[in-house]
Amino acid sequence: MTISPTAPVGTAPAPLPVEPPTGCPFDPPTAFGALRTEEPISRIALPDGSWAWLATRYSDIRAILGDTRFSSDTTLHGYPLSGMTGGGNTQNRGFIRMDPPEHTRLRRMVTREFMVKRVEALRPEIQRITDELCDEMARGQGPVDLVEALALPVPSLVISLLLGVPYDDHEVFQRLTGTLLSRTVPDDEREAARVELRDYLDQLVTAKEADPGDDILGRLITEQQQTGEITHDEVAAFAALLLIAGHETTANMIGLSALTLMRDPESAARLRQDPGLIRGAVEELLRFHSIIRNGPRRVATADIEIDGHLIRAGEGVVAAVPSANRDESVFADADRLDICRPNAQHHVAFGYGIHQCLGQALARVELQVVIGTLLRRFPTLRPAVPVDEIPFRTDMAIYGCHALPVTW
Amino acid sequence: MKITLDADKCCGAGQCVLVAPEVFDQRDEDGIVVLLDAEPPAEQHDAVREAAAICPAAVIEVH
Per residue in A229-258, pLDDT tens? 999 999 999 998 898 888 889 999 999 999
The verdict on B36 touching A (C-beta cutoff 8 Å) is no
Average pLDDT estimate for A67-91: 85
Q: Please state the ipTM of this predicted complex.
A: 0.96
Domain spans in chain B, listed from the N-terminal domain onward: 3-62
Does the pLDDT at position A104 exceed 80? yes
Q: Which pLDDT score is estimated for A124?
A: 98
Q: Which pLDDT score is estimated for A277?
A: 98
Nearest alpha-carbon partner for B30 in B15, B14, B6: B14
DSSP A2-41: -PPPPPPTT--PPBPP-PPPTT-TTSPPTHHHHHHHH-SE
- Residue A102's φ and ψ, nearest 5 degrees, are -65, -40
Number of Cβ pairs closer than 8 Å across A and B? 71
Task: State the amino acid at position A398 in one-letter form.
Answer: I
Q: Which pLDDT score is estimated for A9?
A: 52
Domain spans in chain A, listed from the N-terminal domain onward: 31-84+97-407
Nearest CA of chain A to the CA of B63: how many Å?
21
Pairwise CA distance, residues A301 & A298, whole Å: 9
Does the pLDDT at position A83 exceed 90? no
Pairwise CA distance, residues A63 & A56, whole Å: 12
Of residues B14, B28, B57, nearest to A361 (C-beta):
B14
Contact A129, A154 (CB under 8 A): yes
Percent of residues in chain A assigned helix, strand, coil, to nearest 5? 50, 10, 40
Q: Which fold has domain A31-84+97-407?
A: Cytochrome p450 (1.10.630)
Q: Which pLDDT score is estimated for A88?
A: 57
Nearest CA of chain B to the CA of A357: how many Å?
7
State whether A116 and B17 contact (CB < 8 Å). yes
Residue A143: cis peptide before it, omega within 30 degrees of 0: yes
The verdict on B7 touching A (C-beta cutoff 8 Å) is no
Task: State the amino acid at position A282 in one-letter form.
Answer: V
Mention the CATH class of domain B3-62.
alpha beta
Nearest residue in chain B measured CA to CA from A353: B56
| Beta bridge pairs of residue A311 | A304
- Going across the sheet that includes A297-300, the strands are A41-45, A51-55, A316-319, A297-300, A70-71
